[in-house]
Chains A and B, each alone.
Chain A
Amino acid sequence: QKEVEQNSGPLSVPEGAIASLNCTYSDRGSQSFFWYRQYSGKSPELIMSIYSNGDKEDGRFTAQLNKASQYVSLLIRDSQPSDSATYLCAVTWGSARQLTFGSGTQLTVLP
């Protein structure tokens, strides 16, 4: 069974703080890992992809992958109210091309 688990939240952080979003997945045959941001009433927007163990940084966002622990995280530095959204973790497995999503973590950044 291929599952992706996220804390549903809501997660609240003050403006300027670091927001930490976590995701675990159930199968070691996983290949690729993605973080999407989804504003209320909108479609998912890709913000980060990561394919190998370690950290990947892009602006205020850092994705961290640990395949041995089956864990991927997203850190948002200097959080802004505009970062308030639901963050979706997605994984692909083996030869499958489709994304399997977690149910998302709702983040609120308080001004």
Chain B
Amino acid sequence: GAGVSQTPSNKVTEKGKYVELRCDPISGHTALYWYRQSLGQGPEFLIYFQGTGAADDSGLPNDRFFAVRPEGSVSTLKIQRTERGDSAVYLCASSLRGGEEYEQYFGPGTRLTVT
């Protein structure tokens, strides 16, 4: 079946602009996660959705970042007033449910470059 998809694959934006990154999880997966990965590092957690609600947003670095998942499927990560330090690969993952033992599957990522 289809895996997690993310669009766009690459996004270049100017400092101060607003960007939206989209994630479409595996069909039937109720849990969705956003991570970001900088070069040479493992992914870092941003936010976790169970269904439509954000169950844990403790990883969001500041209030310029927020994410929505209005219908419990597709999610959008929104970044306001982008800064050069936001440049990274943004990864989305989904799992069947949100329990500790449910395996997370990653999408291909969106590479964000802020100039």
Chain A residues engaging chain B, CB cutoff 8 angstroms: 4, 31-32, 34, 36, 42-46, 49, 51, 88, 90, 92, 95-104
Taken together as a complex, chains A and B put the C-alpha atoms of A98 and B109 apart, in Å, by 17
| Interchain CB contact under 8 A, A43 and B104 | no
Q: A42-B108, A43-B108 are in contact. Are A98 and B45 (CB under 8 A)?
A: yes
A43 B45 Cβ-Cβ under 8 A: no
Kindly list chain B residues whose C-beta atoms are within 8 Å of the C-beta of A90.
Answer: 42
On whether A101 and B91 interact (CB within 8 A), knowing A32-B101, A43-B108, the answer reads no
Contacts of A34 in B (CB 8 A): 103-104
Residue pairs across A and B with Cβ atoms less than 8 A apart, 9 shown, are: A43-B106, A46-B105, A49-B101, A49-B103, A99-B35, A99-B93, A101-B42, A101-B44, A104-B41
Q: Does residue B56 face the partner (Cβ distance < 8 Å to A)? A: yes
Number of interface residues of B (CB under 8 A): 28
For the complex, what is the distance from the CA of A36 to the CA of B35, rounded to whole Å? 14
Instruction: Using A51-B101, A98-B48 as known contacts, say yes or no to A44 and B43 having CB atoms under 8 A apart.
Output: yes
Closest 7 CB pairs of A and B: A101-B42, A98-B45, A31-B100, A43-B106, A32-B100, A97-B98, A43-B109
Task: Specify the chain B residue showing the minimal Cβ separation from A99.
Answer: B104
Query: In this assembly, does B55 line the interface, its C-beta being within 8 Å of a C-beta of chain A?
Result: yes
Chain A residues in 8 Å Cβ range of B25: none
**Min distance, Cβ B50 to any Cβ of chain A, angstroms:** 8
